[in-house]
Amino acid sequence: MKSKKKISRRNLLKTVAAGTVAFTINNNVYSKNKKIKKMNLLKGNINHSVCEWCYNIPLEDLAFEAKRIGIVGIDLIGAEGWDVLKKHNLISTMCYGDLEGKSTRSLTNGWCDEKYHEDLIYHYKRHINLVANAGWTNLICFSGNRRNISDKEGLENCVKGLSKILPIAEKMGVIIHMELLNSKIDHKDYMCDNSNWGVELCKRLNSNNFKLLYDIYHMQVDEGDVIRTISKYHKYIGHYHTAGVPGRNEINSSQELYYPAIMKAIVKTGFKGYVAQEFIPKNKDRKGISSLEEAVKICDV
């Protein structure tokens, strides 16, 4: 029978110390993971998103923070940024197309003016396919500025132009969203500046693949009556944006809108789309990410 190796006191202490370090590291990792998991335990009634342009940080960094907070996707990203979103398992919750068709990102040269139709139709047909092939659903569009075009004529022009791309959108499962923007302060002369005009456009197009992007900030500025409007017209709304009024900053108690009540009204309609934070953070703590976290908590009803 072979004799057992003697274990020295020094070796014994080394073994114990190594075990203690391993236990401490594992325990710290477990605690960190538990903390991250706890942070992501949102209620699930609102699908949270965020707009990239509000944060002066690389998309990679915003994607990392969004994932950590529990945000499911990022708004207003074109094809040039989709790989970053997929890398972080995030959704392109409201798409632009590619940079070749950058003209479609113009808020001023839009569907209400026929002279832009040829360019818009060409690029939107491509973009619908791009969005669908990437696995996304939502694609943004804009009415453009009036330029002395009447609301009636602008509406007819939008119907005429959008009717050329909607059959492709319906076939590919892509939903075109026209954004409602205020013309009082931020976007002078923009045509789709009130919910009644936008809803009338939806009715005339009569397609499940055309919806409104209801920007709560913009519509509070131009018409107010946010909760009643959402409750009345919810079937025409496919997406929401947020920001504080006045100033387009944080959605906390520093501004006039009470977002928990607005979110509850949205949930009550049965809405299953996305609510994207689009405020410009005044608070520069962690480059505005602290304000984003706060906003998600405010809206997580």
* CB neighbour class for 120 (10 Å; exposed up to 12, middle 13-18, buried from 19): buried
Dihedral sign computed on CA atoms, order 81, 82, 88, 94: positive
C-alpha 92, offset from chain centre: 8
Report the pLDDT value the prediction gives residue 245, as an integer from 0 to 100. Answer: 99
Report the pLDDT value the prediction gives residue 284, as an integer from 0 to 100. Answer: 85
Q: Regarding the domain delimited by 44-299, which CATH topology (the fold level of the hierarchy) does it fall under?
A: TIM Barrel (3.20.20)
User: Which pTM does this prediction carry?
Assistant: 0.88
Report the pLDDT value the prediction gives residue 255, as an integer from 0 to 100. Answer: 98
Residues 238-271 as b/e (b if ≥16 CB within 10 A, e otherwise) read bbbbbbbbeebbbbeeebebebeebbebbeeeeb
Residue with tokens 């931020």: 186
Report the pLDDT value the prediction gives residue 34, as an integer from 0 to 100. Answer: 46
Dihedral sign computed on CA atoms, order 249, 45, 233, 49: positive
Report the pLDDT value the prediction gives residue 35, as an integer from 0 to 100. Answer: 43
- Asked if 136 and 169 touch (Cβ cutoff 8 Å), the reply is no
Report the pLDDT value the prediction gives residue 36, as an integer from 0 to 100. Answer: 46
Report the pLDDT value the prediction gives residue 66, as an integer from 0 to 100. Answer: 98
One-character DSSP codes across 143-211 = --B-TT--HHHHHHHHHHHHTTTHHHHHHHT-EEEEEP--TTTTSTTBS--SHHHHHHHHHHH--TTEE
Q: Where are the domains of the chain?
A: 8-39, 44-299
The secondary structure element, H or E, covering residue 27 is helix 9-39
The low-confidence residues of the chain, meaning pLDDT below 70, are 1-40
CA gyration radius for the chain?
A: 24
Q: Residue 74 and residue 114: Cα distance in Å, rounded?
A: 31
Residue with tokens 């197009």: 205
* CB neighbour class for 57 (10 Å; exposed up to 12, middle 13-18, buried from 19): middle
